[in-house]
Structure 1
Amino acid sequence: MQKVPGGILRAEPRERFLSKMAGQPRKVLVVAGGGASRLVECSVAIHALKKKYPAAETTLVASGVPREIAECVPDADKVVCTDGRDGAGTGLWGLLSWVWKSRFDVVLCQERDRRSELVALASGAPLRVGWRKGAGRLAFNEGASGPFPNGRDAPITALLDSIGVDTEGVRPRLKQPEGQGRFVGKFRARHGLGEKDKLVALCLSGSLEAARWPEVYFASLAEMLKERGFVPVLFGAKRDARSALEVGKAAGKPLVSCVGSSLEEMVSILSVCEVAVGGDSHLCHLAGAIGVPVVMIFGPTEPSRYPLGDKTIVMTASNSPCKPCWDLGRKRCPKLHHDCMRLVTPDEVLEKLRGVISLKTPVPQSKRPSRDKLPVTY
């Protein structure tokens, strides 16, 4: 650290710091944003940083996800959750105190928020990487400043590029949860499923309300899959219970579901699915990170903002020119037609699935919602 006029401490320039450390910092901290999708993005940062600085101890601070999921990031030497079990306290002040005492050399914060800025300042790290806009100019001495349309968070690759960390070919990846076999065994026994039953995950959640695929489409796709010998399984958070009921009602009978189960259990079951289908959601991002093929439907959100798995197939409505628009309508479509999601039909998704799983039985026309009967609201 060095003093500037006024007695304020300022971090040394990155080049001088890295030359002192012979290019190898001792301790690196990555602060993930809240939620599972942010954790998946941070797995890219941790893997890239580990390749750049193999001798450094890399620590991940995770929030908004269970510890069992945070520990699935394979390249993190240490995982810290703000639940009081790691000496980091249970709140913001406990976290700031722990960061200050830990003396990290490099701190990378994913989110653009006050919490990240305070963590960076409290760390006193010579190299602090984050969103350098507004108060972030004081908190971070390296990072991205934009412009990044349709969002408040810098893409994780832009932050890494700002400090010369190569992200070429680096994909999100997670390990299987430790209790994977136990969860899968109980799930199969509960629903009378055998080892040879082929599961297909239908992920009802959406990063935004406007990013959900219509329930009637999920029901139609589920019927098509069942006719081909697959077992469609509904996935979602507790708040998706109503959507699961609507899908079952549209399908004519209840479907196999793990909606409302713990995130650890759902990730375990996702890992044995043949493929996952859904909108831009944390479940689809998690499925892609653990190596499951995913057909992900993007509407109001922008796929280029996310690091996606090698087996992820992106679908968008080509005849919906108003997308992306998530900065305008988080809960409802600003134009009230939801074309970006409803114009991607079950037939088109099924066609994409042909490249992933073997589909032989022809689709009965009666099960297909035609384009002149597309749902208006959902």
Structure 2
Amino acid sequence: MNRKIKKAVIIHQGALGDLINTAPAIQALKDNCELLIGIGSERLKLLEYCGIIDKALVSDAIGFHSLFNENFAPSQNFREIFSNADLAISWLGRGSEIYRKNLKSLAKNIFIFQEQFPPTPGSEHITKILAKPVIDAGIEIKNFLPRLNHPTKIEELGPGYQTLVHPGSGSLKKALPLAKLFELLDLLSEIFPSEKISIITGEVEKKMVFEIVKTCPEKLKPRVQLIQDLPLIKLAEMIAQAKIYIGMDSGPTHLASALGIPTIAIFGPTDPGVWAPPQKWVKVIATKYPCAPCTDNKRRECEDAKCMELINGMEIIKAIQSFKLEPGTEKPA
């Protein structure tokens, strides 16, 4: 693009992992834009916090749903948000002509994400798929690696949590079975004998937390600590201090890798070629179950869900040991 865009608006309601995988495209837009406003969930405030967008607005607070109304009459609030906007890019509303028409009434140029989502196994990497509407807008994306620059110096955040494990995911079928989790915690306590292992969980892992507390082996209880339901910015601050992060195909795993933390990403039914964080400081452990990876529909219908049971704990430990875990090493400049 030859000229600087004065003002652009992005609309993104996706999950945390999807948002982070869209970050390279949003960053490229920001580099070509004087003012970039985001509309979406509370998660967008993470991009504002990290300086990728100038202002994050929560969609419910501004009555965003009215864009899907046939008799759309933009409020004064809407008119101010989109005032003099050269461009609007949306990862929402691809199937609604009403939404397209109403969005077109607010911005000079609009681009709406049109790709199949979620993509099938064997597709190109998700960062390139999610970048399509930004590319269609004429923005060149030179770097497809998700990167979040934490605005606070790590030493200012206080003492951190050295080893973080996030055993859950938005889908239970992508989560680590409890037996495998306890096996992993046992192995981690052997290689990090002087540290506590921190298990992080969110709202979707409430049932898993109950089972962890109920069935955790006695010998592991002094070695582990549960950290639950942190707000997203606090979660990012905690992850930014970690020495090593171990997680499934989930939003926090993409967050850790984007923050530059040495990351072990564990994959079962989903395709790591599409979904795995692409940074060099990420080691991927993928199941060897015969039918993995599978499509989203097959995963939802699967009654066996055995693929995560084949994850090998020693393979994870070897991946951890392949990192040079001295301060500052294996992290990007």
TM range (shorter): 0.7 to 0.9
1:63 aligns with 2:37: no
Distance 1:145 1:344, change over 3 A: closer
The answer to whether the 8 A contact 1:203-1:278 is kept is yes
Distance 1:198 1:356, change over 3 A: farther
Alpha-carbon deviations, 1:212-265, whole Å to 9, x = none?
121222212112222223421111113323323434534434321112233332
1:345 aligns with 2:312: yes
Distance 1:322 1:50 in 2: 37
1:301 aligns with 2:292: no
Secondary structure, aligned partner of 1:313: strand
1:163 aligns with 2:175: no
Instruction: Quote the offset at 1:353 in angstroms.
Output: 0.9
Distance 1:34 1:233, change over 3 A: same
- The gaps in structure 2 that reach 5 residues or longer are 69-73, 327-333
Secondary structure, aligned partner of 2:323: coil
Alpha-carbon deviations, 1:11-61, whole Å to 9, x = none?
xxxxxxx7xxx633321111112332232123222211133x2x5311122
**Alignment partner of 1:203 out of 162, 166, 170:** 166
Distance 1:146 1:214, change over 3 A: closer
Residue correspondences, number: 306
- The gaps in structure 1 that reach 5 residues or longer are 1-17, 133-143, 186-194, 360-378
Distance 1:91 1:145 in 2: 24
What is the correspondence of 1:327-338 to structure 2 with a 5 Å cutoff? Answer: 327-330=297-300, 334=302, 336-338=304-306
Distance 1:322 1:303 in 2: 10
Distance 1:115 1:80 in 2: 22
**Alignment partner of 1:243 out of 208, 228, 252:** 208
Distance 1:116 1:222 in 2: 50
Q: Which residue identity does 1:284 align to in structure 2? A: T
Distance 2:3 2:293 in 1: 43
Distance 1:198 1:268 in 2: 10
- The corresponding residue for 1:47 is 27
**Alignment partner of 1:275 out of 239, 244, 252:** 244
Instruction: Quote the offset at 1:82 in angstroms.
Output: 3.1
1:107 aligns with 2:88: yes
Distance 1:120 1:72, change over 3 A: farther
Distance 1:279 1:35, change over 3 A: same
Secondary structure, aligned partner of 1:234: strand
The answer to whether the 8 A contact 2:161-2:198 is kept is no
**Alignment partner of 2:187 out of 202, 212, 224:** 224
1:81 aligns with 2:42: no
Normalised TM-score (structure 1): 0.69
Normalised TM-score (structure 2): 0.77
Instruction: Quote the offset at 1:114 in angstroms.
Output: 5.9
The answer to whether the 8 A contact 2:169-2:204 is kept is no
The answer to whether the 8 A contact 1:222-1:251 is kept is no
Distance 1:251 1:155 in 2: 43
Distance 1:355 1:26, change over 3 A: same
- The corresponding residue for 2:148 is 174
1:35 aligns with 2:15: yes
Distance 1:116 1:38 in 2: 24
The answer to whether the 8 A contact 1:173-1:309 is kept is no
The answer to whether the 8 A contact 1:72-1:174 is kept is no
Distance 1:25 1:179, change over 3 A: closer
Distance 1:120 1:237 in 2: 37
The answer to whether the 8 A contact 2:50-2:151 is kept is no
Q: Which residue identity does 1:313 align to in structure 2? A: K
Secondary structure, aligned partner of 1:321: coil
The answer to whether the 8 A contact 1:29-1:61 is kept is yes
Secondary structure, aligned partner of 1:56: strand
Q: Which residue identity does 2:207 align to in structure 1? A: R
Distance 2:117 2:166 in 1: 32
Instruction: Quote the offset at 1:148 in angstroms.
Output: 4.3
Secondary structure, aligned partner of 1:349: helix
- The corresponding residue for 1:26 is 6
Instruction: Quote the offset at 1:81 in angstroms.
Output: 2.1
Distance 2:144 2:235 in 1: 25
- The corresponding residue for 2:330 is none
The answer to whether the 8 A contact 2:248-2:265 is kept is yes
Larger RCO (CA within 8 A; separation ≥ 6): 2
Percent identity (aligned): 16
